[in-house]
Structure 1
Amino acid sequence: MTPFLTLPEALSPEDCDRVIALASAGPMRDAGLVRQTTEHRIRRAEIAWLDDLPEAGWVMDRMIGLVARANREAMGFDLTDFGESAQVARYGAEREGHFDWHSDIGEGQLASRRKLTVVVQLSDPGDYEGGALELWPDSHVRTAPRARGLATVFPSFVLHRVTPVTAGTRWSLTLWAHGPAFR
């Protein structure tokens, strides 16, 4: 099993623009909530859930095929569904947007069943500084490529973070594929 997989051109630049426009027009929420408490030292971002955005169904249609391909080519997990909405995140320099080290698997009905995390880079890399997606799958921290439309796929138990955005705005799309709990 590879620690993570990158899939270039998961979304076209036009698709990335469409997702950003949908999220920008919809209700954006403070994403600092961690374990039912606002923790901006851990995460400072705004998020929109795809399920709350009209006309966003095409995004999940596209992502289903992408996840199936990634799982078949590299991960080999027992996947059964997408039990929660995909999330669009905005990390802005004006708020020093970031997300400290964490894994996406944990307590609760949905988080305990997360098997794969998919992060799609929606912003052009020249639109922001900082904001690197870093993964810590083993003894080495690795930085995911920043190409627009590229998807980074990794097991949900892998530690990862988004470093502080120091200029501009970083947009990303994140979703989780679910399956039976790890044993």
Structure 2
Amino acid sequence: MLSLFAVPDAFTKSECELIITKISEAPTDEAFLVGQNRDHNLRKSELVWTDEVAGMEWVMERLIDLVRRSNRDQFEFDLREFAESPQVAIYKSSESGHFSWHSDIGGGPASKRRKLTLVLQLSDAEAYEGGNLEIMPGAQILSASRAQGGVSIFPSFTLHQVTPVKSGTRHSMTVWAHGPAFR
């Protein structure tokens, strides 16, 4: 069964802290949803697109390598490109940060061709409570590792959520690998 590919130490603690520092200097956007509706019942977070942050090219190179390895070892999807900038999501307990059950395909032209979703855990697990990334590849719910620098990769059509952050702030980075639409 296609489910979850995990790399527990894809980035070091210092690399994750550098990414958080870099994105903290960038302007954030409130998360938009399909149709540009602001439904805070579905999602509440701030976003930074890393293409707009200088000095982040090395991150994308590492993410591409991780996706290639996971696709070779587990998924074997027809991947062609990374058509969207990596996105850093900031989930704050002060704003009840969360993202309810959803998949990453549908909506706009790029999201229809999403094949794999990669989530990089940027925050130290002790920096926040709640905010768990849960993935539902079938009848069971899997919890992604909270280890700082860990990566979780799964098919973009898989239902997943980020549970409400109860204290602190959770930072994570997401990027999508694209290919021809599933048939």
Is TM (by shorter chain) over 0.5?
yes
Tell me if structure 1 keeps the 8 A contact 2:133–2:163.
yes
Aligned equivalents of 2:116, 2:62: Cα separation in 1: 16
1:18 aligns to what? 18
2:152 aligns to what? 152
Aligned equivalents of 1:33, 1:70: Cα separation in 2: 28
Aligned length: 183
1:44 aligns to what? 44
Encode CA deviations 1:135-173: one digit per residue, 9 max, x unaligned.
Answer: 111011111111110000000000000000000010001
Amino acid at match of 1:126: E
Give structure 2 stretches of 5+ with no counterpart. none
Tell me if structure 1 keeps the 8 A contact 2:11–2:149.
yes
1:2-17 to structure 2, matched below 5 A, reads 2-17=2-17
1:92-171 to structure 2, matched below 5 A, reads 92-171=92-171
Aligned equivalents of 2:109, 2:9: Cα separation in 1: 32
TM-score (norm 1): 0.97
1:65 aligns to what? 65
Tell me if structure 2 keeps the 8 A contact 1:32–1:42.
no
Q: Secondary structure at the match of 2:109?
A: coil
Aligned equivalents of 1:142, 1:85: Cα separation in 2: 26
Q: Secondary structure at the match of 2:129?
A: strand
Encode CA deviations 1:29-68: one digit per residue, 9 max, x unaligned.
Answer: 1114442111111100001001111111111011111110
1:28 aligns to what? 28
Aligned equivalents of 1:146, 1:34: Cα separation in 2: 28
Q: Secondary structure at the match of 1:100?
A: strand
Aligned equivalents of 1:95, 1:125: Cα separation in 2: 19
TM-score (norm 2): 0.97
Amino acid at match of 2:36: Q
Tell me if structure 1 keeps the 8 A contact 2:129–2:165.
yes
Aligned equivalents of 1:32, 1:169: Cα separation in 2: 19
Amino acid at match of 1:12: T
Amino acid at match of 2:59: V
Give structure 1 stretches of 5+ with no counterpart. none
Give the share of equivalent positions with the same residue, in percent: 49
Aligned equivalents of 1:125, 1:136: Cα separation in 2: 21
Mean Cα displacement is larger for which, 148-157 or 8-17? Answer: 8-17
Amino acid at match of 1:40: H
2:85 aligns to what? 85
1:175 aligns to what? 175
